[in-house]
Amino acid sequence: MKNTGLTVFAAALVLISGLTACNNVKTKDMVKSEPFGEFKGSEVSLFTLTNSAGNVLKLTNYGATIVYIEVPDRNGEKENVTFGYETLEGYINGDPYFGSVVGRYANRIGQGRFTLDGVEYSLSLNNGPNTLHGGPGGWHSVVWDAEIVTGANSVKFTYNSPDMEEGYPGNMEASVVYTWTDSNEIMMEYTVTTDKKSVINITNHAYFNLHGAGTGDILDHQLTINAQAFTPVDSTLIPTGEIRPVAGTPFDFTTPRLIGERIGEQDEQLLLGGGYDHNFVLDKSQPVAATVYEPVSGRVLEVVTDLPGVQFYCGNFLDGTQTGHGGLKYEYRSGLCLETQFFPDSPNKPDFPPAIIEPGKEFKTKTVYRFSVK
């Protein structure tokens, strides 16, 4: 009796210590958290996720942001391929969108206005006459709650956005789970709920340069976008409502093309965007939305999404005034973004896929950035 009791106790101890060790190993080796500073009374952390190949993804809960992505080239040389700052102050005072989550409405809403069920809503303006990326106090600029997901190489960020924040209706709860897989994929799973009908367009705004962030422009990167059409814009970068075929235009990336190949053409849309800064209408029969290949390093980035569009922005507004990791400067066109999204200004464009969220229904979307070499 006594013996059995002891045996059970010993077995339980072994089991408990085994579980603890296992948890420790996972937490310690896969996700590390360290203080990154404080913003408006909230603690901000820096999370380092390491996968089985030893490649590193860093995140912060300020703006639910991707800070750093270190992946190998075809010779195994590792390099950070995304724009980011080494300090929280960098994020607070610098470019607001490097790697951050943007919401509630990514990209632009014309005149910062839309009507829903007969009620007109006016948003905070921050981009000429328009609202960009949710407004000046959008989700890129708030501290999200953070939780390391047990037993996974994942961090979950959650933010409660109050009714009428930046002018948008509905109390919303938004979360994004980032997972850094052993195949060098950043999986981003977003979930949003609301208590009032509203609009939603949530994405990540990472800038990429596959030969290394801060090491020259991206005009030599080869791009494929599985899109037969794009949405032309007006002079304030609001879509006109037209869905225009890419065939025969500099917007045809249906087969791999160097970004620099046609960017200098006197094309009306390229002139309006100052280069590429347009939404592409994804061909949903294709599993991959876009592929970027940098021939010297051999690095490849593939973008997979369930969303209908992707904003291809090639850093036309960058000017070298921002200094990031390693003291490197982010110059004109030295980074590209592939922001998966609903089409810009869709709350004012009845023919675009609706970016509506209803109470009682969970809005879910998923995008993957997958790195490899060839």
Residues that bind ligand BGC (CB under 6 A): 97, 107, 237, 277, 311, 313, 317, 337, 339
Minimum Å gap between C-beta 133 and ligand BGC is 7
Gyration radius of the chain's alpha carbons: 22
Catalytic residue among 133, 140, 205, 325: 205
3-state helix, strand and coil shares in percent for the chain, rounded to the nearest 5: 15, 40, 45
Minimum Å gap between C-beta 274 and ligand BGC is 8
Q: Which residue of this chain has its Cβ atom nearest to ligand BGC in the complex?
A: 97
Report d(CA 137, CA 153) in Å as an integer. Answer: 30
Question: Toward ligand BGC, which CB reaches closer, 339 or 345?
Answer: 339
Catalytic residue among 70, 166, 185, 339: 339
Angle among Cα 50, 51, 55 to the nearest 5 degrees reads 70
Minimum Å gap between C-beta 17 and ligand BGC is 49
Question: Toward ligand BGC, which CB reaches closer, 70 or 339?
Answer: 339
Tokens of 307: 């969303």
**Sequence-separated (6 or more) residues with CB below 8 Å from residue 197:** 116, 117, 169, 170, 356, 357, 358, 359
Say whether 205 is catalytic: yes
**Do residues 327 and 298 touch, judged by C-beta distance below 8 A?**
no
Say whether 339 is catalytic: yes
Q: Which residue has the tokens 């999404």?
A: 305
**Sequence-separated (6 or more) residues with CB below 8 Å from residue 193:** 172, 173, 357, 359, 361, 362, 363
**Sequence-separated (6 or more) residues with CB below 8 Å from residue 287:** 304
Minimum Å gap between C-beta 24 and ligand BGC is 40
Minimum Å gap between C-beta 277 and ligand BGC is 5
Report d(CA 207, CA 187) in Å as an integer. Answer: 16
Question: Toward ligand BGC, which CB reaches closer, 36 or 207?
Answer: 207
Question: Toward ligand BGC, which CB reaches closer, 97 or 105?
Answer: 97
Question: Toward ligand BGC, which CB reaches closer, 105 or 313?
Answer: 313
Active site (catalytic) residues: 205, 339
